[in-house]
């Protein structure tokens, strides 16, 4: 696995560095919304999609190296292997999102829409 897909360091840097700096510049017209509120959904999507892509690439790499053939002869169904890999990717993405949400709130972001 790569470093950026395993840790929430990159998304936290996006929020902490770019979110706070660009929020003070006022160069992007976002309709009076704080920039942290504007950037947080994109950062969450970016991090969860990267986790999914890297897990998909891992399966391709395992297929090319022959590890997947050895894995598929195990006494479990192919569907269990695929679902297990998908659930592992989903759990990692959810854990990363659960780390990013409090960081965004600590930086002053409001994640619930105002009435």
Q: What is the pLDDT of residue 113?
A: 63
pTM of the model: 0.69
Report the distance separating Cα 47 and Cα 41, nearest Å. 10
Within 10 A of 25 (CB to CB), how many other CB atoms are there? 8
* 38: Cβ contacts below 8 Å, ≥ 6 apart: 28, 30
Domain ranges of the chain: 3-106
Residues of the chain with pLDDT under 50: 1-5
Q: What is the pLDDT of residue 53?
A: 83
């Amino acid at each position: 696995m790569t470093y950026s897909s395993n840790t929430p360091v990159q998304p936290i840097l996006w929020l902490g560095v770019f979110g706070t700096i660009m929020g003070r510049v006022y160069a992007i017209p976002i309709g009076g919304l704080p920039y942290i509120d504007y950037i947080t959904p994109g950062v969450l999507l970016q991090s969860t999609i990267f986790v999914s892509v890297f897990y998909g690439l891992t399966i391709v790499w395992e297929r090319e190296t022959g590890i997947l053939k050895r894995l598929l002869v195990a006494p479990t169904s192919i569907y269990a292997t695929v679902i297990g890999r998908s659930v592992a990717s989903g759990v990692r993405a959810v854990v990363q999102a659960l780390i990013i949400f409090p960081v965004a709130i600590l930086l002053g972001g409001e994640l619930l829409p105002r009435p």
